[in-house]
Structure 1
Amino acid sequence: MSADLKFLVWSAVWCVLLFLPYVLARIQVWGIVDTVGYPENPPPLPAWAQRAQRAHLNMVENLTVFAVLVLVAHVSGAANATTALGATIFFWARIAQGLVHIAGLPWLRTAAFGVSLVGEAMILFQIIAKF
């Protein structure tokens, strides 16, 4: 399996893991019944748990674009050392983005997001160059 595809799989794993902090916070604050149900007026979650949910949703949104780029690069034969580096950059930047998002560090979160976009752009430019 190519490095691009490996980092796509690991990015999907990270996306799944990112939902755990806020779900565990819900269980702790709301209890299991309200967590799996539809409470009318649940107590607010701690700020870090709210940020964790937003970090997860942001990863879901960005994973879609990343997956399309990696898969198109793979299928079109555009995958190479540059796309592998782009996938590597995306993955580690998304790890950083999720962690600093939960920690509440907006400038670092934004920087990590920007770095992940650079990784995606590296893949995109290789696809464009192939055509």
Structure 2
Amino acid sequence: MMEFPTELGILTCLMILAASLWIPYVVGISSDPSEEEAFARPATISNLRPWVQRAHRAHLNLLEQGIPFAILVLLVDRMDGFTALTYWTSIAFFWLRVAHALGMIAGVAGMPIRPIIFTAGWLCCMIMAYAVFAAGL
């Protein structure tokens, strides 16, 4: 039986999160009395309640970082380059993204917490990019 690397397991969990983060946004639109025809036309984001706006942005933020991170993890896997560094980076990235989404939707992760979390996620992407190049050497 083939071993399933932790990085790919974490990536799977991250993609489940990305595929599910639309749910708070849709719940928010569906429960907003001012959005009578919520699904007849695209909602005007600025007219929605603040937490619904933040849910939309949390989903976009995850896609902004999650897709590049996913591609980098798959490249490292393809190059058979997983190390302790990629192991811990993937775990850190996942929990940073969970904290970012929860903090953003709840409205508790404002300045400077949310940008710090986002920047830490970017650093995880850069570390994984380094791992791609290191595996190719």
Give TM-score, length-normalised by structure 1. Answer: 0.88
Q: Deviations over 1:43-85 (max 9, x none)?
A: 9211011011011011112111011100000001111221111
**1:14 equivalent in alignment to 2:17:** yes
Rounded to whole Å, the distance in 2 between the matches of 1:23 and 1:129 is 42
Residue number among 73, 82, 85 corresponding to 2:85 in the alignment = 82
Rounded to whole Å, the distance in 2 between the matches of 1:74 and 1:45 is 41
* CA-based RMSD: 2.0
Shift of 1:8: 0.7
**Conserved in 1, the CA contact under 8 Å of 2:100 and 2:117?**
yes
Greater percentage in helix: 1
Aligned partner of 2:11: which letter? L
Rounded to whole Å, the distance in 2 between the matches of 1:98 and 1:15 is 10
Q: Deviations over 1:69-115 (max 9, x none)?
A: 00000001111221111111110000111112223323211111112
Aligned to 1:122: 127
**Conserved in 1, the CA contact under 8 Å of 2:7 and 2:91?**
yes
Partner of 1:37, secondary structure, is coil
Aligned to 2:114: 109
**1:59 equivalent in alignment to 2:62:** yes
Structure 1 residues without counterparts, runs of 5 or longer: none
Q: Deviations over 1:4-44 (max 9, x none)?
A: 1111111111112221111101001124xx22211687992
Residue number among 103, 112, 115 corresponding to 1:100 in the alignment = 103
Rounded to whole Å, the distance in 1 between the matches of 2:46 and 2:93 is 35
Rounded to whole Å, the distance in 2 between the matches of 1:119 and 1:81 is 13
Cα distance change on mapping 1:82 and 1:21 into 2, 3 Å: same
Rounded to whole Å, the distance in 2 between the matches of 1:84 and 1:68 is 15
**Conserved in 1, the CA contact under 8 Å of 2:29 and 2:48?**
yes
Count of aligned pairs between the two proteins: 129
Partner of 2:38, secondary structure, is helix
Give TM-score, length-normalised by structure 2. Answer: 0.84
**1:44 equivalent in alignment to 2:47:** yes
Partner of 1:36, secondary structure, is coil
